[in-house]
Structure 1
Amino acid sequence: MRAEQPGTPVFRPTLLVVDDEPLVADFVREILEPEGFNIIAADSADTALSLLEKEDANIDILLTDIRMPGSMDGAQLANMVCQRWPDMPIIVMSGYETPSTASIKCKVRFLPKPWSIGQLIDAVNGVAYSVTPSA
């Protein structure tokens, strides 16, 4: 995270975590909130897209699983976010696929499952430097 000047508000990037396993989202929240991130959870790509469409200025980073039930999976969500919000950093995670095998057509950071706490923090911090505070 960035160092802030004393007396200035601290920018806390908001991370949208998309995983059909609630325990994963809860674990991510437990790890990343103390690191300075706000966490919003969605249990499907469909729910995530609805959140992005309503609050796109408030979501800074997308972290999504690839395989999920619903009308679209995490790979399709990542491709859609790349097109509609091209400046939003995207991290995809999976224990079964990679971005290339899932046909993700844009640049994303890949986090293989199972990941360690350190790998999660490194992946999120690795994209957070490019995030600027929303107006």
Structure 2
Amino acid sequence: MNVNLAELLPITGHAIVIEDEPVLRMLLEETLAEIGFSSATFDNAASALTHLISIKGECTLIIADQGLPGRIQGSEFIRLAKEQWPSIPSILTSGYLIDELVIPASTIYLHKPYTLDQFETTIATVLLQHRHLLQN
């Protein structure tokens, strides 16, 4: 499925980004702001989980790196979030190859390094899939 982010604009909502690389985290936050998202960024999943609980799952998108410091990896964070709020769209990223069984259901995997165009296309794809699920 090849989708264009411009077709989905305007996009609003709150995204949670979990990425331990500071420069990439900042770049993702800036890109999401340009698209129309507000975002909360974290370098570990435990802090992001505390935030998600505090906002009672009011989140439009989760972007989580798999290899994170601490005990909770990106895929586990997404699973925990989806147990409570199953409709949150999610993207799992990693610079390493990941076994498909690790990727949570209805989550798109984006392999690093990726371009901003690939990032935006992945966001468009996951949001479009989410809209189709809501309509059916």
- Shift of residue 66 of structure 1? 0.3
CA distance in 2, matches of 1:31, 1:89: 17
Deviation at 1:11, TM superposition (A): 5.6
Whether the aligned pair in 1 keeps the contact of 2:75 and 2:103 (CA below 8 Å) is yes
Letter in 2 for 1:81: A
TM-score (norm 1): 0.81
- Does the CA contact (< 8 Å) of 1:99 and 1:110 recur in 2? no
With 49-58 and 115-124 compared, the bigger mean Cα shift is at 49-58
Q: What SS does the aligned partner of 2:55 have?
A: helix
CA distance in 2, matches of 1:57, 1:85: 6
What residue is the counterpart of 1:127 in the other structure?
126
Aligned residue in 1 for 2:43: 43
Confirm or deny: 8 A CA contact 1:66 1:97 kept in the other structure: no
Unaligned ranges ≥5, structure 2: 1-6, 132-136
Deviations 1:6-37 (A, max 9, x none): xxxx6612111101112111001222211112
Distance 2:19 2:74 in 1: 8
Q: What CA distance in whole angstroms lies between the structure 1 residues aligned with 2:23 and 2:99? A: 23
Contact 1:42/1:48 (CA < 8 Å) preserved in 2? yes
Deviations 1:34-54 (A, max 9, x none): 111212101101011101100
Are 1:72 and 2:72 matched, yes or no? yes
Task: Give me the CA root mean square deviation.
Answer: 1.9
Give TM-score scaled by structure 2 length: 0.81
Give the aligned partner of residue 107 of structure 1: 106
Q: Partner amino acid for 1:113?
A: K
Q: Which runs of 5+ in 1 are unaligned?
A: 4-9
Q: Distance in 2 between matches of 1:20 and 1:58?
A: 23
Deviations 1:78-132 (A, max 9, x none): 211221110001100001132526x23422101110010000011112222436x
Q: State percent identity of aligned pairs.
A: 24
CA–CA distance in structure 2, aligned partners of residues 61 and 105 of structure 1:
14
